[in-house]
Structure 1
Amino acid sequence: MEKISIKPTQNPAILKFEFSNFIAKGNNYEFKNIDDTANSPLAKQLFYLPFVKTVYISGNFIGIEKYSIVEWADVQEEVAEQIENFVNNGGAIITEDADAATKKKLPVTIYVETTPNPSVMKFVYNKLITRTPAEFKNIDETAASPLARELFKFPFVKEVFIDENYISVTKFGITEWDEITAEIRAFIKKYIEEGNEVLNESAIKQTPQGEKQQEAYFDSLDVTSQRIINILEEYVKPAVASDGGNIAFESYDEKDKRVKVILQGACSGCPSSTFTLKSGIENMLKDMLNDNEIKVEAINA
């Protein structure tokens, strides 16, 4: 018997109803109204609820966006029960011909940005991909990202970093960007247009790098470490994200006053990263924590 877990999202109008197994056949589905639901009997039933605005089916969850006529606290248990009863009584979530329907191209815009790292190019999507950054060093690490797995099939792709609405690709030195940028951009655009899954955020959260970005991990840290993470998130991440990278907290040693971070995406191997760490982040932490003994060290610099 399937048991549904209810999970909040960053958008208060949207709740996720998670299953114990994958349900979306490797594709993402979005239904705006009942007329769109020929290939999803479950989505069709959900639209009979007057407060349902949009239904999303992806990975191991169904996301529902509501109209403001109700509060989720008043109806979420009822919705979860309805989904459970439908599935446990043999109802279909996605029918077999739904895959053909998803071949209808999605409106996708991909534009390219250079980064301070000459080995990294940033490919920006016009929609949110993830709220949990994910770094892939090789094809063996790509279980949570079918797109990253496909990108590694290009012989010149060395690393892939995915965050918010962009994909940063690190290349090997065997080729120049002007020879491959258009090819990568076209591939990513076509891949997303065809409805293929970019990243399974639920799977990323279960990886070691993903677990360190969850509230439970944050709550387990000492106060100084929590302050350091908040400073990195508020002041550092927006700046480096615009360049296609991330600087993630790894640890803080109270005795040694040493902050260890991980350089990701365009920040990894960037010629200016040492200057950024020492002249930027280290000085910022010293000032904001009122401690001149603070030292910042990248464990993968």
Structure 2
Amino acid sequence: MLKRPMVKSLSILLPLVTLYGCGGDSIAEGPSAEGEYEVCEYSNGLNNRGYLNATISYPCATEDGPFPATTIIGGFTNLKNQMTWLSDNMTSHGFVVIRLTPNNPVGQPKGFVTAQLAGYEQLIIENNEDSPIEGLIDEGAIGLVGYSYGGRGALFAADELGDKIKAVVAFAPFNSNPKASDFSAMKAATLISIGSKDTVAFPQNAMGQFDVLPDILSTIYAEVEGSSHLDFINLGGYHNKYRTLATSWLSIQLEEDDSYATYLYGDKHQEHVENRWFSEYITRN
């Protein structure tokens, strides 16, 4: 049977410029720099009633698979391609990524949960049919990633999916009543990160969601000094710091690879603390 066409991601083919970014970003290195894999992607045939549209990116070197996989969904008003700064980075480090636009990007939070659930469903579908990534996903190593409403959606979807999800990254998860959240069924190791200057999702609300995560989970709360709510889309100024957190976390939790553990717990992390990356940083388990 003919397989659906794929294209190589243009963003990964452009020269990589690693400068100190405006607004306090860091130089790209390790998990925040381009990884070893060239990025391929496709959008055809990814129809699902749970989201508006989607693109899957995956390492072109398919012979190295299977790979861990994750969703990525942005926030209120965001379209899927506003998160390529993160999806392409993750894929270059050996992850299959489905980035999604919810059915209604200006809709209610529940729609972002639905999109996260559908993204997980579509990864499983694509792994088991005649697609460019057939057999390429390690179904025991799947994560959910999201920003703002998408981050909130990742938390609630992970709670619903239980042990099917191994890791979550929730960037600036928007939730005005975090204490009412019930994540008691969640089994996924979870990183929550937000900017100290976020006046939309608010650090105290992100911390509130962190506090109601089950105590048995491996978790990190990382509050990035000086960053605001809009630093998580393509024009944001703190991408390298957030790539460092997300790609390191998924490498540890999904790949069970400790190569980047130093960026979250070890000497590299201590350098970041000394360089005032964080206004607050909490690890559990």
* TM-score, scaled relative to structure 1: 0.26
More strand by proportion, 1 or 2?
1
Q: Which has the larger radius of gyration?
A: 1
The higher relative CO (CA closer than 8 Å, separation ≥ 6) is in: 2
